[in-house]
């Protein structure tokens, strides 16, 4: 399965520890396809159906589309590297504008 930056896939986040996000949930693929082809892990941002308004750079709301059936927040501060074995079927794809907002927010959190 090809994993592309900006695609939303179901991802198994269990087992979770402490305050980590857990369970099977959608997540945005953030690593590049070239990296995904050679590495055993993939960088993802989990989604949550708990919407928090005006929470950039920590959260960004993504509208429902394709097989993503509910509006969801990208939990940008919960970015993780996971084994590709945890990644399941593709649900949807972000627009380039959405992906840029998330990337800029991530940069704000890391600087």
Whether residue 45 is contained in a domain is answered as yes
Per-residue pLDDT reduced to its tens digit, 37-63: 999 999 999 999 999 999 999 999 999
What CATH number did the domain enclosing 26 receive?
Answer: 2.30.30.110
> How many distinct structural domains can be found in the chain?
1
Sign (positive or negative) of CA dihedral 17, 62, 44, 11: positive
The answer to the question of residue 2 being in a domain is: no
pTM of the model: 0.95
Q: Is residue 20 part of a domain?
A: yes
Residue 14 lies in a domain: yes
pLDDT at 82 > cutoff 90: yes
94: domain range? 7-110
Two tokens at 99? 């992906």
Question: What pLDDT, on the 0 to 100 scale, is given for residue 1?
Answer: 79
Q: Is the residue at 56 inside a domain?
A: yes
* 1 located within any domain: no
């Amino acid at each position: 399965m090809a994993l592309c930056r900006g695609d939303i896939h179901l991802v198994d986040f269990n087992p979770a520890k402490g305050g980590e996000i857990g369970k099977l949930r959608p997540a945005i693929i953030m690593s590049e396809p070239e990296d995904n082809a050679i590495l055993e892990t993939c960088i993802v941002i989990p989604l949550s159906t708990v919407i928090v308004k005006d929470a950039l750079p920590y959260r960004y709301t993504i509208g429902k589309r394709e097989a993503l059936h509910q509006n969801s927040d990208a939990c940008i501060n919960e970015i993780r590297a996971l084994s590709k074995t945890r990644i399941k079927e593709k649900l949807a794809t972000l627009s380039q504008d959405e992906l840029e907002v998330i990337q800029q927010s991530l940069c704000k959190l890391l600087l």
